[in-house]
Amino acid sequence: MQKFDFIRNYISYRYSSRTKFDVHPPFLFDLITKVFEDKKNYPDYQKVEKLKKALIKNRQTISITDLGAGSSMNKNLERSIGFIARTSSKDKKRGRLMYRLANYFKPGNILELGTSLGLSTAYLSFGSPESKITTIEGCPNIAALAEDNFKKLKLDNIDLICGNFDNELDKVLNIIPQLDFAFIDGNHQREPTIKYFEQCLSKTVNDSVLIFDDIHWSEGMETAWEHVKQHPAVTLSIDIFFMGIVFFRKELSREHFVIKY
Ligand SMILES: C[S@@+](CC[C@H](N)C(=O)[O-])C[C@H]1O[C@@H](n2cnc3c(N)ncnc32)[C@H](O)[C@@H]1O
């Protein structure tokens, strides 16, 4: 069997991914043009990125409750806030994409699995201040820092739940009328990812958007992504290597795209 090779897979993505000129669904063309290619420097970006810079400089250590696949870079259960900010949160390019996706779709309900320090949540919140955002984080010390960050940024459309996805996800799904947008960014393993996807399906509607982070991080995550893509309810999937996005719109004919981003 061939060994899993992240770098080789990334190089293959760079060479084989397509641009908007290779895609035909107008929905996807519009999304690429207005969201993926939007290079405007929104003032809200600076608010999140200034906070991230300050967090990266913070050497204070906290103890971590690791309920997920864990950090591949530091197995200690004591970590500095700076280390968490540097290694757990999305980089600028993908954080900004989250902002623009939320801004473009303006979802009623947003669910995030994996808050960490709340930086991706902040991008989502600034991108769509009218949305009701629920975000779940398993580590109480990290969750407390995220709450502080939401206060610093004066974000008031976020409900942070501290607990294990395995216990909290169903409770959230039972309360919300429908799931318009979800960002699955924690516990990057095959079985949990498939399970969270299937739980989310109970509340997806025609216009829902589900985003999975790190779909090529491991063999297990690639298998989970294949499962998600092949699900009969999914009509369009977009692979931008570090993330996968799926749609359920019945008006689209079933297609899968690997898009340069
Ligand atoms: C990659 S980080 C999230 C980063 C954040 N979305 C961002 O970009 O700013 C994943 C987070 O999920 C949390 N997590 C992992 N598995 C979990 C589980 N089973 N239940 C609750 N939280 C979990 C971890 O504690 C970690 O803080």
How far from each other are the two terminal CA atoms of the chain, in whole angstroms? 30
Residue type, 205: V
Residues 261, 216: Cα–Cα separation, whole Å? 15
Q: Tell me, what CATH number does 19's domain have?
A: 3.40.50.150
State pTM to two decimals: 0.94
Instruction: Answer whether residue 69 is part of any domain.
Output: no
- Counting the structural domains of the chain, the total is 1
Residues 6+ away with beta carbon under 8 Å from 60: 80, 81
Six-digit token pair at 224?
A: 């989970």
- Boundaries of domain holding 162: 6-43+90-258
Residues 54, 208: Cα–Cα separation, whole Å? 34
The ligand 1 atom at the shortest distance from the C-alpha of residue 117 is 9
Instruction: Answer whether residue 160 is part of any domain.
Output: yes
Distance from the CA of 157 to the center of ligand 1, in angstroms? Answer: 20
Instruction: Answer whether residue 166 is part of any domain.
Output: yes
Segment 190-227, tens digit of pLDDT: 999 999 999 999 999 999 999 999 999 999 999 999 99
Nearest CA among 210, 227, 216, 211 for reference residue 13: 216
Instruction: Answer whether residue 81 is part of any domain.
Output: no
Instruction: Answer whether residue 55 is part of any domain.
Output: no
Nearest CA among 206, 207, 200 for reference residue 224: 200
Minimum CA distance residue for ligand 1 atom 7: 89
Segment 12-71, tens digit of pLDDT: 888 888 887 777 789 999 999 999 999 999 999 999 999 999 999 999 999 999 887 655
Segment 115-143, tens digit of pLDDT: 999 999 999 999 999 999 999 999 999 99
Alpha helices, H only, 106-163: 119-127, 140-152
Instruction: Answer whether residue 254 is part of any domain.
Output: yes
Instruction: Answer whether residue 84 is part of any domain.
Output: no
Distance from the CA of 81 to the center of ligand 1, in angstroms? Answer: 14
Instruction: Answer whether residue 165 is part of any domain.
Output: yes
Segment 30-42, tens digit of pLDDT: 999 999 999 999 9
